[in-house]
Amino acid sequence: MRILIASTFTPFASNADLRVADTLRRELIRRGYNCDTALLPFSDRWSDYASQTTALRLIDVTESCGNRIDRLITIRTPAHALRHPHKVAWFLDHNRTYDRLDARPLRNSDALNDRHGRDMMRYSDELYLTECRHIYSGSFALANRLQDFNGIHHDAVLYPPLREDHPFRPGPFGDYFLVAGRTDPNGRANFLSDALAHTDPQVKLVVANRDASDGVPGARTPTVSGRIRYIGATSEEERAEWTAGCCGIIVLVQNLECHGAEIFEAFQSAKPILALGSCNGDASLVGHNENGFICSPTPESLGHAMTAFWQNREAGEALGRAGRACLTRKGIHWDRVIGKLLA
């Protein structure tokens, strides 16, 4: 069976969705499928949305050199505009412009163009998504957005698992918390050092970049008595090592539609998660006192939560074990994902 995975991407930027597309490709190939990817540039300038979506629509991926392509799996929006009789959308992001346009009063000068662009985006998403045989969401938050903005029901949530031969594994709880995802909560560069000022003086923090293109706000601000260590860009193996030895993972960025890979890395490593507020858009994955701790999005609150974990390691370890159990309980593994995508 020939399976094409299609996604849009932003050239010269870090594209988390492309990592998922690439892992899916590898996992399909490992299972004996003939799989390739088609990755197309797509601009965030929503005023160009119509022309770019039209370009995608014009590209024919039903066959390649006379050979039928049996399935099309689309990842980043609006790759679902591509034409294919057996198209499945794995919806891992939803255009943020929907929020911006709904929240912002339209100015007279651009009202017409804004409305036109928004309508074009909405109608084309709805038209092309409803062509899909199945729609799977990367999180319940995404499913809700599809329902709220587009009135489209999804079939199920499919969390994107780590690749099967990932290096993440449990390890002894060390003396530091790890930040291994996006680090900028609403542009507050000093958030981490402010949080640390509210902790037990023995608590330490390690901040890792996922890759060279991720910025680390606050990297050049003075550390709190040397208790924050910025280790820069890390390879997956290095991150696995740091994750295995930490006493908890801090997830800072709020309201993401989809879960960051650091959550699944924490689960694999049996580490508890400290998440800010409505972190990651839905509470289905990180549950307060289930597999982590959800605190208010303030430095004080995060600092107090870190101290609480620090002082009660056993509770942290139990939450970490519960996180690892989540992977099986919630079906976060490639056999389920591929089974659904090819159903």
Partner 1 sequence: MRVAIVNVQCPFVRGGAEILADSFAQRVRGRGHTVEQIKIPFKWYPVQAIPEHILACKLLDVGVGDPDLVIAFKFPAYLCPFPRKRLWLFHQFRQAYELWGTPFCGLPDTAPMRGIRAMIHAADNRELGSVERLFTNSKIVAQRLRNGNGIEADGVLYPPHDRPELFGPGPFGDYFFYPSRLGSVKRQHVAVEAMAHVRSPFRLVIAGKPDADEYGEQLLATIERLNLGDRVQLLGWITEEEKASWMRGSCGAIYIPYDEDSYGFVTLEAFHSHKPLITFTDSGGTHELVEHGHNGAVVEPTAEALAEAMERIWNDKPRGRELGDAGHATLGQKMISWDTILDRLLD
Phi and psi of 38, rounded to 5°?
Answer: -125, 115
- Give the nearest distance from C-beta 330 to partner 1 in angstroms: 32
- Give the nearest distance from C-beta 30 to partner 1 in angstroms: 17
- Give the nearest distance from C-beta 47 to partner 1 in angstroms: 11
Residue number with CB closer to partner 1 (74 or 280): 74
Residue number with CB closer to partner 1 (59 or 325): 59
Residue 241 makes CB contacts below 8 A (sequence gap 6+) with none
Q: In the 8-state DSSP scheme, what is residue 60?
A: B
Q: Taking the CA atoms of the chain, what radius of gyration do you get in angstroms?
A: 21
Q: In the 8-state DSSP scheme, what is residue 83?
A: B
- Indicate the burial class of 236 (C-beta count within 10 angstroms; 0-12, 13-18, 19 or more): middle
Determine the Cα–Cα distance for residues 243 and 251; give it in Å rounded to an integer.
13
Applying CB under 8 A, the residues found at the interface with partner 1 are 2, 4, 10-13, 34, 36-44, 48, 51-52, 54-56, 58-67, 69
Count of CB atoms within 10 A of residue 226's CB?
8
Residue number with CB closer to partner 1 (58 or 325): 58
How many whole angstroms from its chain centre is CA 23? 14
- Give the nearest distance from C-beta 258 to partner 1 in angstroms: 21
Residue number with CB closer to partner 1 (19 or 336): 19
- Give the nearest distance from C-beta 65 to partner 1 in angstroms: 5
- Give the nearest distance from C-beta 229 to partner 1 in angstroms: 28
Residue number with CB closer to partner 1 (63 or 148): 63
Residue number with CB closer to partner 1 (34 or 113): 34
Determine the Cα–Cα distance for residues 127 and 277; give it in Å rounded to an integer.
35
Largest interatomic CA distance in the chain: 67
